[in-house]
Amino acid sequence: MRFPYLTDAERVGPNFSIDGMLSTRRITRQAIVEIAAQITPGMTEEEATVMAYASLINAGIAKTWHPTRVRFGTNTTKAMKEESDPGVILQPDDIFFIDIAPRIDLWEGDGGATFTVGNNPDFIRCAGDARELFHDLRHIWLRDRCSGRDLYAKADDLARKMGWRLNPALPGHRLSDFPHASIHTGALAEWDAPPSSLRWILEIHLRHPSKPFGAFFEDLLMEDGEA
């Protein structure tokens, strides 16, 4: 069952296509994996970002609707609009995340994921918990049809129970045929109704309560069987 579009903020543009959105999502997730596979210890964050752009272009993705971001180590604590500290080098035991927003034909993609190198158990747990929390929240959304605001309140509570702090500066957003900003620019965390499937990006940014590292995961909110 698809959730109804409750207000004008959930409308779509004239070129919206479910197949187009789902295809763009698949391309986005695959591109993240391909970029991550090329990141190795010894690279600077700046080198990895340049490589990520080149990887997208080589995959036929020439346009993005927000900057491609790669964050290493201590920079993984920063929200997306914050500038990275320059010159951070990926260490043999380290954590990094990727955030990309391909524009494929008429549709927007957006995806992020965290990866680790080496065997640091805290890094591995943080990366896994960001992904796990996303999927736990998606199941809560499907089961309870809660509002975006309630979903993020639950995210904050669950993150603390996991031992992390949720960064409120990444509160989720609309996604659509390009550009979604012409339809709605508000945050999912401020949405007081059940968000509709295939319309919103759920963002999870966890940070360690005292150490300088974090993890990020984001994906399109959608029902079982739509991927």
Domain boundaries, the chain: 19-220
CATH code of the region 19-220: 3.90.230.10
Check residue 227 and give its pLDDT.
Answer: 57
Check residue 46 and give its pLDDT.
Answer: 98
* pLDDT at 3 exceeding the cut of 80: no
Q: For 171-218, how does the pLDDT look when each residue is reduced to its tens digit (9 = 90+)?
A: 999 999 999 999 999 999 999 999 999 999 999 999 999 999 999 999
Contact 100/68 with Cβ under 8 angstroms?
Answer: yes
Check residue 1 and give its pLDDT.
Answer: 38
Ordered DSSP codes for 128-194 = HHHHHHHHHHHHHHHHH---HHHHHHHHHHHHHHHT-EE-TT---EE--BSPGGGT---BGGG--SP
Mean per-residue pLDDT of the chain: 94
Return the amino acid letter for 134.
F
Q: For 177-188, how does the pLDDT look when each residue is reduced to its tens digit (9 = 90+)?
A: 999 999 999 999
Check residue 6 and give its pLDDT.
Answer: 53
Distance between terminal CA atoms of the chain? 15
How far is residue 167's CA from residue 159's CA, in Å, rounded to a whole number? 10
Check residue 81 and give its pLDDT.
Answer: 87
Q: For 123-167, how does the pLDDT look when each residue is reduced to its tens digit (9 = 90+)?
A: 999 999 999 999 999 999 999 999 999 999 999 999 999 999 999
Q: For 15-61, how does the pLDDT look when each residue is reduced to its tens digit (9 = 90+)?
A: 999 999 999 999 999 999 999 999 999 999 999 999 999 999 999 99
